[in-house]
Structure 1
Amino acid sequence: MNFSFEKRDHRMLYLKYTVMFALIALCMFGSYAITGHTLIWNKDALNQHVPLLGEYRKVVLGWLHHPTRPLNWWSWNMGLGTDTFQVFSYYTIGDVFAYLALLFPAAKLTLAYQVITVVRTYFVGLTFCWFAGHFSFRDHVILGGAIVYMVNSYLLYASIAQPFFMTTFILFPILVVQLERVLQNGSAWPLTLAFLWMLVNNYYLAYVLGIGTFIYLVLRVATHYRTTLSYGKALAKLAFAAITSILVAACLLVPEIMAVMNSTRAGSEFANGLKHYPLYYYLFLPKQLINGDQWTFMFWSALGLVSIAFIAIVYLYTRTREFPLLSISLALALVMLLIPAVGAFFNGMMAASNRWTLLIYLPIAMTVCLLLQNATRLDRHTLWILTSATGIYLVVLVATYIFQNDTTMFMPIIFLIMSLLMLWIINLHGTPHPDRWLVTIILANAACNALYVGTPYNGNFANSTLVRGQYQSIAENRYGSLEKGLNDGSFFRVSTISNNQITSGGLLDNDLTSGMHNIDSYYSLQNKYLGQFSTSLQNTQYQANVPLRQVDDRTVLNNFFGVKYLFVQSNSENANKIPGGYFLDATTEPKINYDVGQPTNPTDQTQLVPTTTNRYRTNNAFPLLYWQDSYISQKTYQKLSPTAKERALASGVTVSSKNSGATNGMKTANLKGNVIKLKSQLVSNRLNKIKSTGLKYTDSLETYQLQLPQLTSKAFKKQLKDSELHVEFASIKYQPFSMKQQIAYEQKHEEQQSTNPGDIVNYRFNQYKFWRYHILNGSPDMSFAIKISSRLGSETIEQPKQSKLSFFKLVKNGTMNIGYFAKGMPTSLTFKPSKLGTYQWQYQVVAEKLGTKYNQEVRQIQKHALKNVKFKRNQLSGTISTSRVGILTSSIPYSTGWTATVDGKKTTLLRTNQAFVGLRLPAGTHRVVLRYHVPGLALGCKISLFGLIWMLLAAVASWLIKRHNANKASA
């Protein structure tokens, strides 16, 4: 199987493909339209892709209208504030398809997004047709391969959830073709441009594609060019293409690499600690190959191809000597799929995410093309091998069905049998146009897979997409319209309550549509210092992608971040868990749901509970920048508990150890009385007192009370009025029981439940039932959850499963905010672990005092706010008068991109309170200016300019050499 670069007329092929794509697109996307859904997922697309596309569209149009005006690279609307260049470079800047949004008006943003998704999908299949056109395949053979390449679980999911991942399916065939051109002693320029597109498209995907291209290069040389390749010339061309593309793309790459190195991603747990995958992964991996209906991925091992792919792979291994590259590639891919470290390596040394499988769809599609090309020439021996292998595979699939009860395997099995029967019919009896019959089966198989995923009553993926008009409705009613009229010119931030959903249809983190400064943000790259701050204060909501969320509704943290308003849905979770100092400011028109959340037997309309969206306001929000003259040394700060660290934000400022001299001349902060430790006792409903050091949890129905005996005293309770109650876990260790132990305890529980006369426990069935449950759920595993509830709401510390990939974190501690109690603190709390096993912990219950002392400290902070604050592009300025030396601190995330001047003179920027911008101020009246530049952008642009000059000179030299050789040949 050899590449050919002879020019061929493929216009008819592309026309046939376009007609075929119309049918496929109807199945892939038409069902969403028919059922009133859109192609906008209620998670990443809602939070990231659509709003960022709209924001970037504004940036580009603004630049086109005012090309001399500097671009604004700092946004106050992305969480606490972030570098928009870093965000846009990951999602939109290098995405060529994103620029199609410029053709649509702003009001049609969601339409533009969906059209771009369809166009992107079209180019996936078109690129494969172009790629396969370099071989001597018949048109229908290529079309069959294009269907396989375009319709699979990975792309069916990515087209809705992660659309920019689809571009890799376009890029990889281009990279392979241009690499092949170089190996055949062709020009390096097409490969240079392909590398350049790869690098600017997305650095993460470039990393995956780069490794994949290198693997292809090694295997191709080893299997085909080993003895014929001119190694010197080839290496020179490859080096030229790689170096030139890297130089030209440096304006994006340098800032991106610096952003990654300074993000919460750096230093994450390799492969989430996995040495091997859970047992269910290996059991169900075989069915993943043809389970095209499946979109719930196991570690992103999606596969999900049309059923004939299995037969094609078996056929390939009857011809390994003819097709060594494909044979080795797929065998290597199988081995790689079995090892978590491989997924982690391809995922930037982080979670064991097998997104790299995007690379194997090309060789599989080519394998299907080989089968189709030779379908009429299969001998009996080969047919019986295909039949025997299919029979064995069917046994595996049926066993999987029996064990998992996976009804989605029905259609793939039908098409698997149909494909095999058609191959027998073609070779035994002969049929006119065999290619068309096989392609028809492939098309029908792909259509069924696509329809299953896209219909809301089957695969349920469509239920995870927004309905028509919902994005606009959410954007307009992000806070029940209670945000209207709040922009009075002052700077403040807003938030919601943890797990409290104001709008239905998706979990909202980012807010790029209301104009409010919400502290919550969800992006792939987040400021590492913000992550360190959140983990140091043991914010249980922290995730690498979402460093703050609602900071667990902690009062001081909300105040510190300048959260002036909280928006709360009255019928949603934790609606009563309002931080201290926040009072009801406004509410929406009440609505009554007569069927949910109402008294059992109401007798009067006034007894019914209405549903409203409420806005709470506080007068205790800290200014964005403020002066403090009290400091906390690093040594003292490190000894504080998480609650004490939080409370200390109002008492004084701490600076990083390398800037400790900045506190010279300042007074030591008074931390006395900020936090009070409470006695506690854990008691089960079996009337057992649990040791404070841990718990052996053997019965899932056993519940516990965390009793606080001191609060039975009215005098002590009065002492703790205006306090927030926290449970601080300094350490948590969880050891799951072995499978045998789990089942034994569950059997024992069944015995205890058999209390009626004549009850019989079916031990044999229970043994299988429990064993099956644990296999399907991947247990025993390290995940667990501890939930504590009060009358105000619930709080949970959760150790995610290792299969959570990007949302995995090692949970070794955590501080749970039970809520703010103005007067009556509870005497006990409900305590519930999630899983059987042995828990070891060190914890304490503390009350964070928010009374007179705190209020005085807040008033001092507000009094010393930076005045006359003005915001410009990449700049913030203001004035302040100080009576003595102190630190101007802030809640602006620290970055090396910030520089500061005081009275026109450059001053050293400090990292205060672990994560925020600050600077030392002497006594007097000062004008302070903070300016932001993208770290690494200037250096990257200089390198790119050099790269462009180098590329231009190389192009001129190449043209002159080519012209010289042409003249020499003609002479």
Structure 2
Amino acid sequence: MKVKTVNFIKRHYSLLLSFWLPFLIMSGYFISRNMYPFGSSSLLTVDLGQQYVDFYAFFRNTLLHHPTSFFYSFSKALGGGMLGEWAYYLLSPFNLLLLLFPAKNINAAIFLMTVLKYGCAGLSFAFFIQATQKLRGLKVVMLSVSYALMGWFVAYQLNLLWLDAAILLPLICYFLNQLLLKQRYQLGYPLTLAAALIINYYTGYMISIFLILYCGWLISSHYESLSKLRRQIIAFAGNSILGGGLAAIILVPTFYSLIGSKGQYTQQLIHYKFEYFPPKMLAKLISGSFNFQQMPSGLPNIFIGSLGLIGFLTYFFLRQIAWKEKIASLIITLFLLLSLCFEPLDLFWHGMQFPVWYPYRFSFIVSFWMLLLAGRALIELKTATHWKTAAGFSLLLYVGIIVYVFFNLKKLSFISSNNLIMSAVFAGLIWLLLFWPTDFKYQPAKILLLSIAVIVEVSVNAVLSLNNLSYLSEKEYAQPTAALTKDATWIHNHDKNLFRTGQVYSRTKNDGLAHDLNTGSYFSSALEKNMPDFYGMLGNPDGDNYVTYSNGTVISDALLGMKYFITPKTNLSGNQQQPLTQLTEKPDLKNYHSVATSNLTETYQNDQSLPLAYLASNQLTTMKTFYDDPTNFQTNWLKSAVGHQNDQYFVPQNFNEVVFQNVSQRLRLTDTIFKKKNLAKESKIIFKFVPTTNNSYYLTLGAPLDSDNVTFYLGNRQLNQYSTFRHTVIVNLASHAKGQEIVLTAVFKKSSLWLNHFVLYQMNNQLVDRRLAQLKKQQPVVKKLSESKLSVTYNQKKSQQLVATTIPYNVGWHAQVNGKSVKIIKIQKMFLALKTKGLGHKKIILTYRPPYLLTGLLISLISLIILFSYYWYRKKHRKMRQ
């Protein structure tokens, strides 16, 4: 056994090192940074901490407890299909590791997933370069470690969902090599392509574009005859189509969901321009050329280390490589480099949508291509007779890059002079070790030194780059998570019905997803466009990829079925500090009653909340909608639901006093632009009012009143309010505060302030309560049979009845009334509803089936049958010939 193990290691040491070196290097770095479970910090930063970790918690909950959430979840904002979310976020096989860890140790699982992906990227590239370029030994290790620790992988490691693409790309290219050049492994190419498309359709799309280029390169580099060219093109096209067909079970329903989400934001106007001065991207070839500012709008991350870059440059000057191959390589290289700076091509790689943060996401393909050509150069250098010319040109070009960056250092905030000097030293050392003539007996030592230099350089780049990021501590994640878990557990044990739970404190917008709470908030790149549109009308913060239910009123709380609210305690015992972040102001909690308390939180119940399906007036089907006018929108919703069109629930109020400090005074407040008198001094406007009743008081704020322009203070503390919004929001300032002076202060952040849609309202709570009681009377009983199946039962007392819901409309929903199918209609441009006829008992069954799932399944089955039938036929035919 020992002998077999030793022999295995000797035969495969380059593959083993290609996995273990990146794995151990990054593990060592993270341990030195005290990352959980080896310290008090965590890998959670930016989207990994604000979005993905909650999806991973949802992944565990779905597979272990709620399998029907795979198709639909009411934790997705107000409810929505989840297949598109799984296709984008959660289908990596690495995610199965999450099941091995308790929920409270999810950060440990993320640590393991991250370092494993580093290792697998190195192993995958080593396998590819060794099999296709016939490289062996430490040269394979050098290139594979350069690939695993390339700038893209390090910069975007927090986007764990994309890293599988970098692992699969070398494998797909290997099988395409075998298919086109050797007519072998016919199953490998379509299966690995299908895996890439299933695991993440977004990066799979990018890989598919590159495969067309790579196929062209392979065919042109190995052209023999027109008949063989025809066979190769047919093989590539046919197997690519089969790969897409195998993935159809995910791609087809996902494509439908994208039509209503990301597809709505496709760029219509394309500018034929360079996004920046193209030579600036050369700075990204320098070690440590990354910081936090590069995440939202930086340059492409194409660092591959000096060996990769020198090899890439050398490739084009080696005489042994045929001109037809070099011309094809040059065309592809120019196309890829142009894609990194020319807007139409950049958009094309990103599915015709500009990325929100993390620009040039396809740059891992550029790095793969450069390292592939570097591998070609290294293998040819063994027999090169005119290597000095190639070495000289590569040195000259590298020096040119260093000189360009040196003279532009002041314009490049992400590079320091020390980084540049270090890169120049590594480049010089690696160039000398690569090209300096050495006696044969010293060659192993030279290769070893070269390997050490290469591995140290790319490791230093990883350290310098990641040191520029800050991370959540384990405590910052664990404390609010533990509180939410405790609150969610109490609510689930106390109430088994279907309802929504509002948040007055939160960790992220995906708290509901992570804790099986229907909070009304959500953050996802695949969020349907109608959801933020609705929130924009409702008076809550929204964006292209998020919604936050932080600004509810008594009306919206009731109509949306917000039955419970969880809030942080304000008066903790002893000297204990509140670790929970308050999301919003909620004086309206005084209208609800406390039902549970813990050491950090309190839970309130809203007795006015409606079920998610309710009986309403037919006037709701013709309700008028409003943008940037949330009080009118909510008024119309309630009065249309109850059928009282003359109701007025919000009454505008004047402030008792307005004080201007270093601001030009004006009589009119709303939609007036106020300017500073002295730009060097602080400017503020102080608004005061004294409620004359115990009613709820609300203030509307237009989009220009976000945190970029103004800071609001309520009394002597900062107003708790979501910082960004693009439509008018409605803020709860007071409730049950009769006779108490309310002081709101607006502190300017710029030279002027536009009080857009700035109106104070008093709610007629007595009238609202009457109408809500009228609406709630004799409401249906709604039961959740599963995440994708509901029953609604009631006694109908009218010949025709509108059954309205606050379930987002989707063609995947189907309805039966007393066993007969009925048509579902759309109301309020948002929700599903149906009309029932006849008196007596009604039982409605609402069932959700992902649209086009069966179509996708059928295509995948047909593709699978064709693939294996063809494989069986070829195998049988080969045996007959033999």
1:333 is matched by which residue type in structure 2?
L
Match of 1:847 in 2: 761
- Higher mean Cα deviation, 395-404 or 870-879? 395-404
Give runs of aligned pairs for residues 24-423 of structure 1, distance below 5 A: 24-38=22-36, 40-46=43-49, 49-53=52-56, 55-56=58-59, 73-93=71-91, 95-101=92-98, 110-133=107-130, 134-159=132-157, 161-184=158-181, 186-187=183-184, 188-222=186-220, 224-225=222-223, 230-263=228-261, 265-268=262-265, 270=267, 285-292=281-288, 294-296=290-292, 297=295, 298-299=297-298, 301-319=300-318, 321=323, 323-352=326-355, 353-370=359-376, 372-373=378-379, 382-404=390-412, 406=414, 410-411=418-419, 413-423=421-431
Q: Secondary structure at the match of 1:649?
A: helix
Question: Which sections of structure 1, spanning at least 5 residues, go unmatched?
Answer: 1-8, 64-68, 591-611, 654-666, 735-782, 800-810, 967-971
Matches within 5 A, 1:506-585: 507=508, 509-539=510-540, 541-546=541-546, 548-569=547-568, 570=570, 572=581, 576-579=585-588, 581-583=590-592, 585=594
1:185–1:234 contact (8 Å) kept in structure 2? no
Letter in 1 for 2:448: R
Partner of 1:484 in structure 2? 490
In the TM superposition, what is the alpha-carbon distance from 1:146 to its structure 2 partner? 0.7
| 1:853-932 pair list within 5 angstroms | 853-867=767-781, 869-872=783-786, 874-884=788-798, 885-922=800-837, 923-932=839-848
Q: Report if aligned partners of 2:500, 2:564 keep a CA contact under 8 Å in 1.
A: yes
Q: Deviations over 1:136-176 (max 9, x none)?
A: 334222211111111023212433x1223111112222232
Which whole-Å CA distance do the structure 2 matches of 1:957 and 1:425 have between them? 52
Q: Is the 8 A contact 2:697 2:760 kept in 1?
A: no
Q: 1:313 to 1:84 in 2, by over 3 A?
A: same
CA distance in 2, matches of 1:684, 1:282: 48
Structure 1 residue aligned with 2:574: none
> What is the correspondence of 1:672-751 to structure 2 with a 5 Å cutoff?
672-677=647-652, 685-689=662-666, 695=673, 718=692, 721-728=695-702
Contact 1:553 1:578 in 2 (8 A): no
Is the Cα–Cα contact under 8 Å of residues 482 and 587 in structure 1 kept in the other structure?
no
Matched-pair contact (CA < 8 Å) for 1:724–1:847: yes
Distance in 2 between residues matched to 1:965 and 1:553, nearest whole Å:
75
Per the alignment, do residues 511 and 629 of structure 1 end up closer, same or farther by CA in structure 2, a change over 3 Å counting?
closer
Question: Given the alignment of the two structures, is residue 626 of structure 1 paired with residue 630 of structure 2, yes or no?
Answer: no
Alignment of 1:819-834 (within 5 A): 819-822=733-736, 823=738, 829-831=744-746, 834=749
Contact kept? 1:86, 1:256, Cα under 8 Å: yes
Task: Give the superposition deviation at 1:856.
Answer: 1.0
Shift in CA distance, 855/61, structure 1 to aligned 2, threshold 3 Å: closer
Do the aligned partners of residues 952 and 304 (structure 1) sit closer, same or farther apart at CA in structure 2, a change above 3 Å counting? closer
The answer to whether the Cα contact below 8 Å between 1:223 and 1:324 also exists between their aligned partners in 2 is no
Q: Residue by residue, what CA displacement relative to the aligned partner does 1:212-245 show, whole Å, maximum 9, x if unpaired? A: 1112223444555386562332232223212322
Cα deviation per residue 1:876-912 (whole Å; 9 max; x = unaligned)?
Answer: 1131124333321122222111111122221111222
Question: Which residue identity lines up with residue 422 of structure 2 in the other structure?
Answer: I
Q: State whether residues 79 and 510 of structure 1, in contact with CA within 8 Å, keep that contact through their aligned partners in structure 2.
A: no
Taking only the aligned residue pairs, the percentage that are identical comes to: 16
**Which residue of structure 2 lines up, in the alignment, with residue 448 of structure 1?**
460
Question: How far apart, CA to CA, are the structure 2 residues paired with 1:220 and 1:137?
Answer: 18
Q: Structure 1, residues 526-571: CA drift from partner, whole Å, max 9, x if none?
A: 23332331233353x212322x212434443333322233333446
Query: 1:940 aligns to what?
Result: 856
Q: Return the letter of the residue paired with 1:629.
A: S
Give TM-score scaled by structure 1 length. Answer: 0.76
SS of aligned partner of 2:826: strand
Structure 1 residue 337: Cα displacement: 1.2
Structure 2 counterpart SS, 1:345: helix
Task: Give 1:304 deviation, angstroms.
Answer: 3.2
Q: Which residue of 2 aligns with 1:495?
A: 502
SS in structure 2 at match of 1:389 = helix
Where in structure 2 are there 5+ consecutive unaligned residues?
A: 1-6, 37-41, 571-577
Pair 1:890–1:850, CA change in 2 (3 A): farther
User: Would the aligned equivalents of 1:795 and 1:818 in 2 still touch at CA under 8 Å?
Assistant: no
Return the alpha-carbon distance in structure 2 between the equivalents of residues 437 and 690 of structure 1. Answer: 77
Deviations 1:894-950 (A, max 9, x none): 211111112222111122232222212345431221111111112222222333333
Q: Does 1:814 align with 2:802?
A: no
**Partner residue, 2:4:** none
What is aligned with 2:3? none
* 2:639 aligned partner: 651
Give the RMSD, CA atoms, in angstroms: 4.0
Question: Are 2:684 and 2:746, in contact at CA under 8 Å, matched by a contact in 1?
Answer: yes
| AA at the equivalent of 1:845 | V
Deviation at 1:852, TM superposition (A): 0.9
CA distance 1:275–1:864, change in 2 (3 Å): farther
For 1:739, the equivalent position in structure 2 comes to none
- AA matched with 1:487: H
| Counterpart residue type for residue 854 of structure 2 | A
Say whether the 8 Å CA contact 2:671–2:758 is kept in structure 1.
no
1:763 aligned partner: none
